Amino acid sequence: MIRTLIYLIIILLGLCVSPYLVDNTGYLFVAIGDYELETSVIFAIFALIVFYALLQLVEWIFVGLINLLINSRYIPQRWRQKSARKHTLTGALALAEEDWQAAEKAMVKGANQGELPALNWLAAARAAQHQQHYPQRNDYLKQAEAEPRAKNAVNTSRCRYLYQQGEFEQARQALDTLVPCSKSNDSLLLLATDLYQAQQDWAALRALLPIINKRQLVDETRFTQLSLTTNSALLTEAADKGEQALDNCWGWFSRAERNNNHYVALYAMGLNRCGRSIDAWKLVYKKIKSAADDDLFAAIPHLLSTSDTEYRQQFFGLESKYVTQANYHVCAAQLYLQNRDFSLAKNHYLQASQLDESNKSTWLGLAECQHQLGEHYGASQSYKQAAVL
């Protein structure tokens, strides 16, 4: 609308000015050497306009021919790029549909002339992984490594695929190049957690636990179980290496962890294996004097032998305090079994079975004591009770 109005204004101005220009055409005289040119000013202006228009037209034609010649050389490449985009789109749709075979073929076809070939190779590697085409997968990942910015993505994918394949050593080599730390992304940290567990590299896993907890990468229940498994394994491994390694491991634990009765029980059993049975008993006895704990009661039969009369009496002296604790009676029964005192052991197993009727091992222990004492009918009843559980 505005353009039409402008044209209309120009036409009206021309109509108004044209009578004046017809009466006053002006005079122009041009002399160049022996050549002379006489004309009106109006005609000269018109001639200049026509000359400029012709010059502009020639320029457009010349530029168009040059572009046509240049573009004609790249027409096949453009066709290939267009075809690559088509194959990439087909592969992406096949990935979404989990049609791994079609996705692999399409992504490979679109990789060479694609705009982002690294993405095509990574997608093809993923499709090959799902089909268990491991040699092809490795080739695709090598192709993707040609893009420097894709190095971390390639190593992460290689580590994940090798872990899924069960090649833990090779997966660890790829993971070590990424160096999982507080700056790593969440997916890499979770992958490192799974791989460290598979390799039972508990020291490396323990180093990641604070980061995992801070970012809340797993729920509270799983984190608690993960911490328990890791710290328990570290204490067991340290005990196998010797007293110095065990003390160092225990020193790395936080105060809250050193107050955890499960870890206290494992540490005490480690001390006992290293020949420090007195220190182990003192540590456990200090804990059970204040409160009962199943892990500590389970560890006591491994700490005390038949010759530890003083310490055994200290434990038996707690019976009045823990008379309603089934695990205390099971522990006492196991200590009496060390002396082959089946009568007292049976009494404690009997009390434990009455306090906790759902414990299968208690009924089996009671049956064994009854069998040793010749109480075959009672033993058969206890075995039947255990079989029900």
pLDDT at 51 exceeding the cut of 90 = no
Q: How far is CA 248 from the centre of its chain?
A: 30
Where do the domains of the chain lie?
36-146
What is the b/e burial string over 240-252, where b = at least 16 CB atoms within 10 angstroms of the residue's CB?
A: eeeeebbeebbee
56's CB contacts (< 8 A; 6+ apart) are none
pLDDT at 28: 64
CA atoms within 13 A on the CB side of 323: 3
> What CATH number should be reported for the domain whose range is 36-146?
1.25.40
Q: Of 40-44, 87-91, 132-136, where does the model show the most confidence? A: 132-136
Q: What Cα–Cα distance (Å) separates residue 147 from each residue in 116, 117, 141, 159?
A: 9, 8, 11, 18
pLDDT at 359 exceeding the cut of 70 = yes
pLDDT at 141: 93
pLDDT, greater one: 1 or 49: 49
Q: What is the mean pLDDT of residues 203-222?
A: 92
pLDDT at 89: 87
**Cα angle, residue 190 at apex, residues 185 and 195 outer, rounded to 5°:** 125
Q: What is the mean pLDDT of residues 61-70?
A: 78
pLDDT at 68: 72
Per residue in 324-336, pLDDT (tens digit) is: 999 999 999 999 9
**Cα angle, residue 247 at apex, residues 244 and 250 outer, rounded to 5°:** 150
Q: Dig out the tokens for 19 from the structure.
A: 């009578």
Strand partners, 32: 35
Per residue in 213-249, pLDDT (tens digit) is: 999 999 999 999 999 999 999 999 999 999 999 999 9
pLDDT at 52 exceeding the cut of 80 = yes
Please report which confidence band the pLDDT of residue 93 belongs to, taking 50, 70 and 90 as the band edges: very high
Residue 326 contacts residue 352 (beta carbons within 8 Å): yes
- Lowest average pLDDT, out of 70-79, 120-129, 193-202, goes to 70-79
Per residue in 256-309, pLDDT (tens digit) is: 999 999 999 999 999 999 889 899 999 999 999 888 888 999 999 999 988 888
Residue 302 contacts residue 269 (beta carbons within 8 Å): yes
Q: For the chain, what percent of residues have pLDDT higher than 90?
A: 51
pLDDT at 42: 67
Average pLDDT, the chain: 87
pLDDT at 192 exceeding the cut of 90 = yes
Task: Determine whether 182 is exposed, middle or buried from the number of CB atoms within 10 Å of its CB (0-12, 13-18, 19+).
Answer: exposed
Residue with tokens 């206290």: 264
Q: How far apart are CA 165 and CA 7, in angstroms?
A: 75
Residue 49 amino acid letter = I
Please report which confidence band the pLDDT of residue 173 belongs to, taking 50, 70 and 90 as the band edges: very high
pLDDT at 27: 64
pLDDT at 101: 93
DSSP reduced 3-state for 375: coil
pLDDT at 76: 67
pLDDT at 72 exceeding the cut of 70 = no
pLDDT at 212: 93
pLDDT at 388 exceeding the cut of 90 = no
* Other Cβ atoms within 10 Å of 320 Cβ, number: 6
Please report which confidence band the pLDDT of residue 4 belongs to, taking 50, 70 and 90 as the band edges: confident
Per residue in 369-381, pLDDT (tens digit) is: 999 988 988 889 9
What is the b/e burial string over 126-156, where b = at least 16 CB atoms within 10 angstroms of the residue's CB?
A: bbbbbeebeebbebbbebbbebeebeebbbb
Q: What is the mean pLDDT of residues 58-77?
A: 74
Please report which confidence band the pLDDT of residue 54 belongs to, taking 50, 70 and 90 as the band edges: confident
Please report which confidence band the pLDDT of residue 7 belongs to, taking 50, 70 and 90 as the band edges: low
pLDDT at 25 exceeding the cut of 80 = no
